[in-house]
Amino acid sequence: MTQQAKSTRSINVTEILREQLLQGEFPPNTRLQETALAERMQVSRTPIRESLRVLAKDGLLDYAPNRGYSVRPFSLDDIVAAFRVRSVLEGLGCRLIAERGMSDNLKQSLLKTLNQGEELLQSGQLERGEYDEWREMNKDFHLAILMETENDLLVRFAKASRNIPIVFNGSFKWYTLRAFQRAQDHHQAIYSAMLNQQPDRADFMMQEHVMHAADILKQNLEGAE
Partner DNA sequence: AATTGCGAAATTGTATACAATCTTTTCCTT
Partner DNA sequence: AAGGAAAAGATTGTATACAATTTCGCAATT
The binding site for DNA (CB under 7 A) comprises 6, 8-10, 31-35, 43-47, 49-50, 65-69
Q: What is the end-to-end Cα distance of the chain in Å, rounded?
A: 46
163 CB-near residues (< 8 Å, 6+ apart): 18, 22, 58, 59, 60
- How many residues are listed for the chain in this entry? 225
Tell me whether residue 54 or residue 96 sits nearer to DNA (CB atom).
Answer: 54
134 φ, ψ (degrees, to nearest 5): -60, -45
CB of 44 to DNA, least distance (A): 3
Q: Which residues bind a second copy (CB under 8 A)?
A: 6-8, 11, 46, 49-50, 53-54, 57-59, 65-66, 78, 81-82, 84-85, 88-89, 91-92, 96, 150-154, 156-157, 160-161
DSSP state at residue 173: G
Tell me whether residue 85 or residue 143 sits nearer to a second copy (CB atom).
Answer: 85
Helix (H, G, I), strand (E, B) or coil at 9: helix
CB of 4 to DNA, least distance (A): 10
CB of 64 to a second copy, least distance (A): 9
Contact 209, 89 (CB under 8 A): no
Binder of residue 81, out of DNA, a second copy, none (CB less than 5 to 8 A by kind) = a second copy
Binder of residue 31, out of DNA, a second copy, none (CB less than 5 to 8 A by kind) = DNA
Tell me whether residue 46 or residue 181 sits nearer to a second copy (CB atom).
Answer: 46
Task: Give dist(CA 155, CA 175) in Å, integer.
Answer: 26
Tell me whether residue 49 or residue 212 sits nearer to a second copy (CB atom).
Answer: 49
CB of 35 to DNA, least distance (A): 6
Q: Over the Cα atoms of the chain, what is R_g? A: 19
Binder of residue 45, out of DNA, a second copy, none (CB less than 5 to 8 A by kind) = DNA
CB of 68 to a second copy, least distance (A): 12
Task: Give dist(CA 140, CA 116) in Å, integer.
Answer: 11
34 CB-near residues (< 8 Å, 6+ apart): 45, 48, 49, 52, 68
Binder of residue 68, out of a second copy, DNA, none (CB less than 5 to 8 A by kind) = DNA
Task: Give dist(CA 94, CA 36) in Å, integer.
Answer: 45
